[in-house]
Amino acid sequence: MVVSDPASEVLATLERVTSRPAELEVISVPPTQSFRWVQHDYPTDVARWNRHPEYELHLIRSSHGSFIIGDQIGRFGPGHVAMVGSGVPHDWMSDLDPGEVLVNRDVVIQLHPDWLHQSIEVIPELQEVAGLLELSQRGIEFLGETGRRAAELIEEVGRCTGTARIGALYTLLAFLAHAPESESPCINSTWIADSTSRESVAAVETGLAYILEDLRGHITAQRAAELAYLSQPSFSKHFKRASGLSFTEMVRRLRIAQACRLLVSTDLKVARICEEVGYTNLSNFNRQFLAEMGVTPREYRRREQRMPPSRPPGRAETRPTGPR
């Protein structure tokens, strides 16, 4: 009988996951909010080896397992709190029985660096969190009493709405910024640099700029490839590798994200919004919106008009408010 070696299995998992580039996650923040608070199940398609420009605070509510942040691996249990910086690859993998699903295992707060740094510029008191943001590029674990209190504050952010929500976030960041070093160790000894090839990153950046320049226009992978000075097959390969989505999928998600913003922030009719985000056929737009959001555009608008700006933790939010 062959006896497995747990240490060898952990190292094998690290090698298997980190041998492929971290997928670029595209995060959409609802138009009525400054940052994103979300909870999700495990396993799910959003829980994977990924990276994104946003700073992330991550709480594991239940289960034990292994995490990978940057190039380091560790173990976690219920109540584990970590912070990862902009562009730092990460993943949390629970030990599961076959077919097991953990409902709302994760709570995640995602903060775009532009919003954070602009806030620090106009609110001098926030300067105290600048060091925290810098250290987060190495990944930070919050342990002991600091971790326990941080988990409570993360949950509190989700319970708040409006101005109180911003206040709860600032309270959380200030608390973490003053955490004792013994309870806030850095996970990596050096700052993390994204390992995705320059060609792949350039392909995504060029493609996104082209898409966002005119969502109403006729957008093609061929034109995006020309702008990136690549053949179409090469562009498509690099784009998929770095973003985790095909170019066509990215166009659809960004168009639907814009449609969500217009549905919430304007009184435009659905047919007009369809045109504004580049669809020429209303039926096709409705199908694509339903596939992405799980509801029709009209149902989405009615739901968002009834909802408060933020959902409390008691409400499962397995599908984000905006497309990912």
Q: What is the DSSP letter of 44?
A: -
Q: What is the pLDDT of residues 70-98, one digit of tens each?
A: 767 788 999 999 999 988 888 898 888 88
For 253-308, write each residue's pLDDT tens digit.
888 888 887 887 789 999 999 999 999 999 999 999 999 888 999 998 988 777 54
Provide mean pLDDT across the span 123-133.
95
CA nearest to 181, candidates 130, 139, 129, 142: 142
Domain ranges of the chain: 22-183, 198-306
Confidence of residue 191 (pLDDT cuts 50, 70, 90): low
DSSP for 200-260, written as a single string? HHHHHHHHHHHHHH-TTS---HHHHHHHTTS-HHHHHHHHHHHHSS-HHHHHHHHHHHHHH
Cβ neighbours for 288, distance < 8 A, ≥ 6 positions apart: 252, 255, 256, 279
Q: CATH class for domain 22-183?
A: mainly beta
Terminal Cα-to-Cα distance of the chain (whole angstroms) = 45
Q: Tell me the sheet residues that pair with 65.
A: 76, 94
The torsion angles phi and psi of 197, rounded to 5 degrees, stand at: -60, 150
pLDDT per residue as tens digits for the range 216-244: 899 999 999 999 899 999 999 888 877 66
What's the fold here for domain 198-306? Answer: Arc Repressor Mutant, subunit A (1.10.10)
Distance set, CA 234 to CA 23, 55, 204, 221 (Å)? 17, 30, 12, 11
Confidence of residue 320 (pLDDT cuts 50, 70, 90): very low
Distance CA 241, CA 264 (A): 33
pTM equals: 0.62
**pLDDT value of position 73:** 74
List the single range of 58-62, 189-193, 314-318 with lowest mean pLDDT.
314-318
User: Over the Cα atoms of the chain, what is R_g?
Assistant: 21
Which of 113, 61, 102, 60 has the alpha carbon at shortest distance from 82? Answer: 60
